[in-house]
Chains A and B, each alone.
Chain A
Amino acid sequence: MTTTLHATERQGVGESARRPDAVSKVRGDFAFSSDLWHDRMVWGATVRSPHPHARLLSIDPAGALELPGVHAVLTAADVPGHNRYGLERRDQPVLAEDRVRYIGEPVAVVAADTPELARRAAALVRVSYAELPALTDPETALTGPVLHEGGNLVKHLRIRRGTVAEADVVVTGEYEVGMQDQAFLGPESCLAVPGEDAGVDLYCSTQWLHVDQDQLAECLALPKDRVRLTLAGVGGAFGGREDLSVQAHACLLALRLGRPVKMSYGREESFAGHVHRHPARMRYEHGATRDGKLLYVKADILLDGGAYASTSAAVTGNAGCFATGPYEVPAVEVDCRSVYTNNPPAGAMRGFGAVQVCFGHESQMDRLAAALGMDPVELRLRNAVGTGSVMATGQRVEGPAPVAELLRRVAAKPLPPPPGELLPGGTSNSTRAEGLRRGVGYGVSVKNICKSAGYDDFGTARVRVFAHDGEVFAEVHTAAAEVGQGLVTVQAQIARTELALERVTVLPADTAVGDAGTSSASRQTWMSGGAVRAACAAVRARLLERAAALLGEPVEALAYGGEASAAAAVSTASGRAVTLADLLAAADVDETAVFRHRRTRALDPETGQGDAHVAYAFAAHRAVVDVDPELGSVRVVEIACAQDVGKAINPAAVEGQMHGGIAQGLGLALMEEVLVRDGRILNPSFTDYLIPTTMDMPPTVLDILELPRPDSPYGLTGVGEPPLLSAPAAVAAAIRDAIGGALDRIPATPEAVARAANRFP
């Protein structure tokens, strides 16, 4: 069987096809999870712990229930199933039982006629606690009060490779990365509707419908087929929607009341309602020869996992695996640990452990370059991995690994002109440019794509082709979460290309179709895209079987033409043809396919060696900054980013991912930190937690390489995370270059920059 595809089909693979949801989004018609409404609907609100660590003594709902319009107050005793959820460990109560472990932990949920009333009622639920000593410094986690059965160590990844030899030049450094918030704009929200079968239909924002379903079925003590999830419009995710938030609470209330229940967090509650990026403390030692070849890297990394595990173990694995960066290092000693504390839980955020260590290894490379008197770009080029290189975990890099090429490309971009209208300090006009210093910094980065360490990672897609009124249509159905990244566009593009059809619709994602896996780890275009492609291949095969039967010729003699040609199937032997309408006259073609990437293995627990990753993705950044050293204010003038994407399925969407990733990296470098003191978040608002605005974002210069992988659909690799990874490191390096001082912590606030620039203690 041969397949003839038409290079000219519109909005197919490789084109900047438009988002199918863009029109409804600009009109304001697109239904996000916070926009949903149902007849007889009531609103849920959450009662949360004010203590970082306490025994829960009693809950008195009377004050709340007295208010007219309040329908229920539920506590742990009302959870019908297993009162635990969690992505890696079921260690987090849906509602607290006898103990609370962080400020903001859900203790009870309330339902009332309006959101205002529900919040008022929540404030009237009287909860008494006996406070316990709080563990808020991760350094003391292993000696402090034990927060979970089995102790406070969540995960320790140990990597031992080669023998640490004596080096000509040794540099050490200690680095810190603050807690970053995903700051997706759409608040956690959902609508739970009780079903006639005593089950529930949940419309929610999430990154992974089926893993939500698994956890909810356990909590609600319902068979999975009675917990049906449909993806509502998702207002951004970035890792912060991997864990459950409102889902279980809304389902509990809806099932108890027999009424639809809506929940929607305000921004302050959102800061307590989802996990954040792990704050990291990192100690590094690099040894190198006089001519700048790395001999060894030692790294000791501590991640504050907060009160519950979430994805801490996997983040720890990633931070450990990539602690030495995209470099050839003969000897490696890495210890990476995550611990439980009474701080807000940490978990997934774009970059997933690789961002924190990138700041560490890149800061070290600059320090080493300075010690060697070598250009920092040159030092990186001398040590960069390429195809066939061996990573710290002993895994050989297969597929393209153009680290040196990416770095050369950003380094070769013309530098931006000298300071113009936009100066550090923004509109406050605090700088007059007299003491301004410009700096240039670089960063390169690596991260795994798809799931690692033996996880059975797969995607599922169903594709149906049917004729209606003489026209042929295709429907694509997956459970893959469109969170803003453009997956819905890409799925349609793949179907158009594979089926040579124009009229392709992507159905809403739900649990009526098989598991798609998570919209994270930069994996969905590869995995769900691969599944759509495989389902389309099955559809084509089925159509050709039908054609063979109609023509009375063997399948092998037929070629698929799709819609672009007049004939759906043409016999290469006889030249006879049939149309798609002929083939679909009797019945639709409906095929489901499951797509898997190759198996990976867990790392050896003693040495951290093994083939744990399917693929590596790489990026390089160059940042140019202007700094006012007296005020410590920084203006990023330009960021250049070069990234290998294998194949740009949708070039405009790739650019969008790069722009957005760079912005989040700039935010982490300069301004974004969830400030936590004694377990309490001090800045849970967009007034006090700053994300980059139009005044902060510089022009970007993008360079997209397309070096095809041998083992992925169309040769693509994941796109979403790499543009963030080394952006913070590059910005920090540029600031150091400008001020000539050390800068060992991000975000680099004006205070920190001024201190470093002026050598204040």
Chain B
Amino acid sequence: MRVDLEVNGVHQSLDGVTPGESLLYLLRERVGLPGSKNACEQGECGSCTVYLDGTAVCACLVAAGQARGSAVVTVEGLADGEELHPVQRAFVDAGAVQCGFCTPGLVVAVHDLLARSADPGEPEIREALAGNLCRCTGYEKIFDAVRLAAGRAR
């Protein structure tokens, strides 16, 4: 089937999409945006978090066909050209990146959290990121990054 959608502001018209395909596969293999990650492909790890019409979702749980006519924003769409988004900058500055496989999903999840709540407290941060697994950092420096990004925005 054909899927028309907008990804990071660019219209994409994709032919030959199969019914079994996820939005994650479409983004990674057809659009050529592998930033959204494939750590579990069953909605448990959050590494594929993207915005679908403004809502943060696991791209692995969305059938490619469901995304027809939607506007998708991925981690690759957050920076302004060479200029990192403040959330991305905070991850770099806080040392919140190790292997980096969870990072794109967490960057989108934190972007989403701070858009809803400019100055989240610790319980709110923990709850908001509970769907994003990280195996390297123990999350501490990720919390630091959230606080840093929120603080800089004040």
Chain A: residues with CB nearer than 8 A to chain B? 16, 18-19, 21-23, 25-32, 34-35, 37, 114-116, 182-187, 233-238, 264, 266-267, 421-422, 427, 483-486, 652-653, 655-656, 658-664, 685-687, 691-695, 697, 699-700
Contacts and interface: CB of A to CB of B under 8 A. Distances in A.
A339 B113 CA distance: 49
B100 interface: yes
A483 B84 contact: no
A264 B141 contact: no
Contact of B97 (A26, A664, A692, A694): A26
Given A184-B99, A421-B123, A659 B137 contact: yes
Interface string B44-76: 110100000000000000000000000000111
B98 interface: yes
Nearest to B87: A26
Given A235-B101, A694-B125, A26 B38 contact: no
B11 interface: no
B9 interface: no
List 5 tightest A-B contacts by C-beta distance, closest first: A28-B35, A484-B99, A659-B138, A25-B100, A235-B101
Given A26-B103, A27-B76, A30-B100, A185 B35 contact: no
A484 B98 CA distance: 5
Given A22-B97, A697-B138, A185 B92 contact: no
Contact of B101 (A32, A115, A182, A697): A32
Given A27-B79, A700-B138, A686 B91 contact: no
A35 B98 contact: no
Contacts of A236: 98-99, 101, 135-136
A264 B29 CA distance: 13
A266 to B, nearest CB: 6
B122 to A, nearest CB: 9
A414 to B, nearest CB: 19
B35 A235 contact: no
A22 B139 contact: no
B150 to A, nearest CB: 16
Determine the interface band of chain B, counting residues with CB < 8 A from chain A: 35 or more
B84 A27 contact: yes
9 contacts: A23-B92, A26-B92, A26-B107, A28-B35, A30-B100, A37-B32, A484-B101, A663-B135, A694-B143
A45 to B, nearest CB: 14
Contact of B42 (A28, A233, A267, A486): A267
B37 interface: yes
A185 B75 contact: no
A114 B26 CA distance: 12
Contact of B92 (A18, A655, A697): A18
Contacts of A486: 98
A28 B74 contact: yes
Contact of B135 (A27, A185, A653): A185
A652 B95 contact: yes
Nearest to A723: B138
A236 B45 CA distance: 14
Interface in B23-44: 25, 28-29, 32-42, 44
A694 B95 contact: no
A308 B43 CA distance: 32
Contacts of B97: 19, 21-22, 25-26
Contacts of A267: 39-42
B44 A687 contact: yes
Given A233-B100, A660-B137, A116 B18 contact: yes
Contacts of A661: 138
B141 A26 contact: no
A656 B38 contact: no
A113 B38 CA distance: 19
Given A236-B99, A264-B38, A697-B138, A28 B20 contact: no
B129 interface: yes
Interface string B74-98: 1110110000100011011101011
Contact of B99 (A23, A483, A655, A664): A483
A693 B104 contact: no
A185 B98 contact: no
Interface in B108-154: 123, 125-127, 129-143
B7 interface: no
A558 B19 CA distance: 72
Nearest to A262: B29
B107 to A, nearest CB: 6
Given A28-B36, A266-B41, A685-B40, A22 B76 contact: no
A486 B98 CA distance: 7
Given A19-B97, A27-B84, A694-B130, A659 B41 contact: no
A26 B91 contact: yes
B138 A660 contact: yes
B45 A656 contact: no
B102 interface: yes
Contacts of B41: 266-267
B92 to A, nearest CB: 4
B140 A697 contact: yes
A694 B123 contact: no
A380 to B, nearest CB: 25
